[in-house]
Amino acid sequence: MDVRRLGGRIAAALRALAAGGSLPIPAWITNGLAMISLVLSSCDLLRLCSDRDRRLRFPLGGREFVTVVCQLASIVYLFSPCGTGIPSANPETPACRDQGGSADQTRAAAADAPEALHGGAEGEDEEIVAAVVSGALPSHHLESRLGDCRRAARLRREALRRMTGRGVEGLPLDGMDYQAILGQCCEMPVGYVQMPVGVAGPLLLDGKQYHVPMATTEGCLVASVNRGCRAIAASGGAFSVLLRDAMSRAPVVKLPSIKRAAELKAFVETHTNFETLAAVFNRSSRFGKLQGIHCALAGRNLYMRFTCSTGDAMGMNMVSKGVEDVLGYLQNDFPDMDLISLSGNYCSDKKAAAVNWIEGRGKSVVCEARVKGGVVQSVLKTTVQKLVELNIVKNLAGSAVAGALGGFNAHASNIVTALFIATGQDPAQNVESSQCITMMEAVNDGGDLHISVTMPSIEVGTVGGGTCLASQAACLNLLGVRGPNRDSPGANARILATIVAGSVLAGELSLLAALAAGQLVKSHMKYNRSSKDVPGASAS
């Protein structure tokens, strides 16, 4: 009998046994036996070849024949595309179906036992998709079961198509590092959304030039900020001051009585006790440093607003960990303290709140520029007097009539959101980060314009979150603030916050000028709407 044929039959018999033939031998046992056989037969062949008194000759003797057959059978079994030793690149081949059972039987086995879907014949795409559709394999388990994040996203897309009857062909799959987002940015991904990125500038800020990346689908926005940057640069640039750098987290605890709640409040706010609490907090992170604790009572509920510096990270997780440690320490002296929530909304995160407008959250920045009268006329196409009047009537009085909370501006959230998406920030935090008051006044006997924006709650970071993604990291790199600052921890995040404020300053200047000059509709019809759509739209 041909040796190769014999080896193939032995390997097929082993696979049949492993696949659930007459003897239900687990795959790890057959793999182990094959490996042992390969090692022993290889050692025996090497010994025979090196033995001068007993050279390996053909035809083979009984012992030599058995050794060669065992080695060939082991190799065929371990390296066969249908074997359980090494997974196949295309497991749905005819040879696999012939030697490993029908595809329908394999799919049924996979649906009944989804825990076996990890590579090999059991991990065929069709089986996995069927298991997800049937509910036998939860979609969120795909990454851990397959060990391949891109493949998990691809199979999840197909399962979604079968369950809903609708495809997502327009949603890109390739081009995203799915391993990078695992456990950090997004769960159960099926692709990514394309967002155009424009560049405005250069923005001349604090003596440096920045080309500002903005991810947006609103035409005219980048062009408007670009015009504002041009006007500011032509007038000597903008200047910024960072007033405060403190992220906050405010847990809420309940005490048995208002007296006990007041006692805990006094304990936490006492200066000598604060030093001890700060030491406990600061042990949780190299960069998180507790700055203060401010408390508020509502009945027997106590809200403790912790504020701390967080280095180059935006810092929510960092602060939460430190707060958790402090609460554990306080439990020793106040065992009757009941933690209701690690976040009691007194923080306040992703909500318009007066506490952020007054006390600040994240980075508090003020940015200003003096725009020359000639630049106002030549670049912005309006006058200083019109801009000052418009700002008072619209941004100050108009927002007051509307009862705005931190919304004394023209469109700060436009610029903040575009920059946040481009640089990997949390877009939902544009709610408090966009709180801004824009001020304008005539200076130099009315000849020039002084403009400023005050933004008390810019929440940004250059490490963590979406900053790890390639596109967002590239935008941060364009600004020169990618990653942590090794020489001065926190400096990159602070610079990014000033860039946000400077860009808002440019955007406010340009939009208000367009409104003062009556050019808003004309500009949007030019940049925000294709001319070929205008006749059809007007006729409808």
Catalytic residues: 218, 350, 426, 524
Q: Which of 450, 454, 437, 452 is nearest to 371 (CA)?
A: 450
Residues 260 and 252: their CA atoms lie apart, in Å, by 14
Q: Which of 323, 443, 436 is nearest to 371 (CA)?
A: 443
Q: Are 215 and 195 in contact (CB under 8 A)?
A: yes
How many residues does this entry show for the chain? 540
Report angle CA 504, 509, 512 to the nearest 5 degrees.
Answer: 115
Q: What is the DSSP string of 225-287?
A: HHHHHHHHHHTT-EEEEEEEEEEEE--EEE-SSHHHHHHHHHHHHSHHHHHHHHHHHHTT-SS
- Name the token pair of 519: 């050019």
Omega cis (within 30) before 59: yes
Residues 301 and 261: their CA atoms lie apart, in Å, by 7
Q: Which of 208, 189, 209, 191 is nearest to 199 (CA)?
A: 209
Q: Please name the residue that has the structure tokens 């304008």.
A: 440
Residue 253, phi then psi, degrees to nearest 5: -125, 155
